[in-house]
């Protein structure tokens, strides 16, 4: 039997090429090798203030974009988190088995609390418990995670191990699946910070639905340096970031790329990156428009994914509920 992979993405903000290269592209490639469950985690989104109608629209937008990028309903289950009530129900059971000290060590809460000082709510603090529930409900073998999510996965592993010890065998202990190439794409305006879909800076990120003109404009303004050689040097963060983006989109080796730009300037590098990114995103954008305009098809796919996921989730929740003595 294939190992099972679970992963989710929030429907807030526009999807960047960093999200695509660091997560979505990898999800698509995983489909050949694993049993996959992918989720639009809209319940996580409401830890920050959301307009209800916009959140609903963005949830469907995200599902359509995942399909357009290559998530195949014949190979993977794709569903919306809030459609399956076992997620918050299991999170409550897990809450009662997570020490406060362990939750207080979560660095992402501290980071988000600093960014949103007027909305430090219990849900934001408790986010990792719901994330653990997302993962453990599906008896997950592997979770594709970036470095910034490893701590949350470790919490899920810890609570699962304690639960199994204290109440009886219930959860698989998930392992991280960390992809190195493309896992950390940096901002075009600030190559010392990770490219983020929540950034408000105008030239920070390339979004998957950007027009060719917008993509060209942003790459032209991307941060480089005053040196002349174009080589993969991690110390030259701006150029290194651009070269990593070009490496993944062009599928060329680092030696081939350095030879291509030998004795060339940054202008050519930025033009070539623009060309290969536009070429890659054009069919995704075309497919997205097609899927998003066919709501019947989109809802059918999501309902199909929900049915597959719910059968697993309900079984796990029922077992956990019984083990802790709930009726």
What is the enclosing helix (H) or strand (E) of 302? helix 295-323
Q: Which is catalytic among the residues 25, 112, 218, 270?
A: 112
Instruction: Please confirm, yes or no, whether 110 is among the known catalytic residues.
Output: no
Report the distance separating Cα 321 and Cα 316, nearest Å: 9
Report the distance separating Cα 232 and Cα 235, nearest Å: 9
Report the distance separating Cα 236 and Cα 224, nearest Å: 8
DSSP letter assigned to residue 22: I
Report the distance separating Cα 222 and Cα 216, nearest Å: 10
Query: Which residue, chain included where needed, has tokens 């350095």?
Result: 258
Of 274, 303, 145, the C-alpha closest to 211 is 274
DSSP helix/strand/coil, 199 = coil
| Both structure tokens of 255 | 């030696």
What is the enclosing helix (H) or strand (E) of 30? helix 25-30
DSSP letter assigned to residue 24: I
Report the distance separating Cα 127 and Cα 198, nearest Å: 18
Instruction: Please confirm, yes or no, whether 112 is among the known catalytic residues.
Output: yes
Q: Which is catalytic among the residues 14, 56, 197, 237?
A: 197
Q: Which is catalytic among the residues 194, 218, 270, 306?
A: 194
Of 168, 179, 215, 151, the C-alpha closest to 27 is 179
Q: Is there a contact between 223 and 210 (Cβ–Cβ < 8 Å)?
A: no
Catalytic residue numbers, as ranges:
112, 194, 197
């Amino acid at each position: 039997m294939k190992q099972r992979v679970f992963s989710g993405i929030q429907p807030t903000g526009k999807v960047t090429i960093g999200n695509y290269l660091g997560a979505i592209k990898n999800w698509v490639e995983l489909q050949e090798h694993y049993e996959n469950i992918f989720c639009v985690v809209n319940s996580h989104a409401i830890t920050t203030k959301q307009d209800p109608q916009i959140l609903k629209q963005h949830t469907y937008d995200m599902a359509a974009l995942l399909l357009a990028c290559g998530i195949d309903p014949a190979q993977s289950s794709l569903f919306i988190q809030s459609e399956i009530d076992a997620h918050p129900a299991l999170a409550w059971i897990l809450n009662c088995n997570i020490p406060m000290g362990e939750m207080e060590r979560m660095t992402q809460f501290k980071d988000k609390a600093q960014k949103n000082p007027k909305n430090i709510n219990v849900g934001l603090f408790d986010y990792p418990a719901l994330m653990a529930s997302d993962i453990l409900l599906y008896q997950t073998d592997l979770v594709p995670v970036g470095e910034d999510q490893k701590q949350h996965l470790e919490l899920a592993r810890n609570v699962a191990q304690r639960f199994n010890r204290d109440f009886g065998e219930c959860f698989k202990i998930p392992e991280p699946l960390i992809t190195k190439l493309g896992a950390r794409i940096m901002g075009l305006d600030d190559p010392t910070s990770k490219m983020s879909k929540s950034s408000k800076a105008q030239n920070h990120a390339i979004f998957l639905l950007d027009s060719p003109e917008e993509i060209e404009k942003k790459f032209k303004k991307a941060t480089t340096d005053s040196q002349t050689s174009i080589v993969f040097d991690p110390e030259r963060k701006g150029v290194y970031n651009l070269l990593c983006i070009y490496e993944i989109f062009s599928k060329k080796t680092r030696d081939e790329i350095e030879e291509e730009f030998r004795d060339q300037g940054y202008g050519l590098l930025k033009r070539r990156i623009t060309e290969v990114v536009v070429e890659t995103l054009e069919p995704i954008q075309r497919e997205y428009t097609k899927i998003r305009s066919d709501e019947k098809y989109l809802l059918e796919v999501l309902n199909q994914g929900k049915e597959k996921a719910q059968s697993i989730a309900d079984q796990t929740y029922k077992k956990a509920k019984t083990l802790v003595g709930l009726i």
